[in-house]
Amino acid sequence: MRTLFLLRHAKSSWDDPALADHDRPLSPRGRRHSKLIAEHMHREEMGPALVLCSSATRTRETLELVRPALGEASVVVEDKLYGASSDRLLERIRQMPEEVSSLMLIGHNPGLEQLALALASSGDGLGRLEEKFPTAALATLSMPGTWASLEPGTAGLVAYVVPRQLR
C-alpha cells in the first residue's frame, strides 16, 4: 500500500496588496494552524518518506512549520506545483520512484482539492472533504499498486483533518 498526504498551505496574508500572489507569506492564523497540523502529524506518526512542495512563499512557510513532524523525509521544492491543476499533480505523482512508499504534496487549491476528490473512492471523511478543503487541511489517502498506476477512484480516504478540529 502507498500513502499520499495532501496538505493545503495554511492561511496566507493579504496585508500587502503589492505582493505578487506567489510571494504572499502566511498570516498569524496560518502559522498557528500549521503548528496544529504539525502536532497532529507528530501524534499520529504520519511522517512521509518524501515531500513535494510548491515554490510559493506560503507553501514553503507551511512546510517549515510542519517540518518537525516530518522526521527524515526528503524535501523537494518545485516551481511547477505552484497553481498546478489536479491533472498536473496526478501526472507528477505518477512519476514517483517505486521505492517511495509515502508522499506528501504541499500545494494550492483548486488543484489539491480536485485531486483529493478525484482519487478518493471511499472513507469516513469523504462527505466533509466534498464540502470544503480549507487552508491547512490534510487529507490522507491509501492506495494499492504503484504510483505509476494511480487512477481516479482508486484510493481510500484514511483521514481528513482541518485545523478547526484540533483546537
What does the pLDDT average to over 131-144?
A: 95
What does the pLDDT average to over 43-67?
A: 96
Task: Specify the number of domains making up the chain.
Answer: 1
Q: How would residue 77 be classed by pLDDT, with cut points 50, 70 and 90?
A: very high
**What separation in angstroms does the CA of 141 have from each of 5, 26, 109, 160?**
6, 26, 17, 9
Taking only the tens place, the pLDDT of each residue in 17-42 is: 999 999 999 999 999 999 999 999 99
What does the pLDDT average to over 144-159?
A: 95
For residue 49, give its domain range: 2-166
**What separation in angstroms does the CA of 144 have from each of 3, 48, 151, 153?**
9, 16, 11, 12
Percentage of the chain with pLDDT > 70? Answer: 100
User: In CATH, what number is assigned to the domain containing residue 119?
Assistant: 3.40.50.1240
Q: In degrees rounded to 5, what are phi and psi of residue 101? A: -90, -25
Is it the case that residue 167 has pLDDT exceeding 80? no
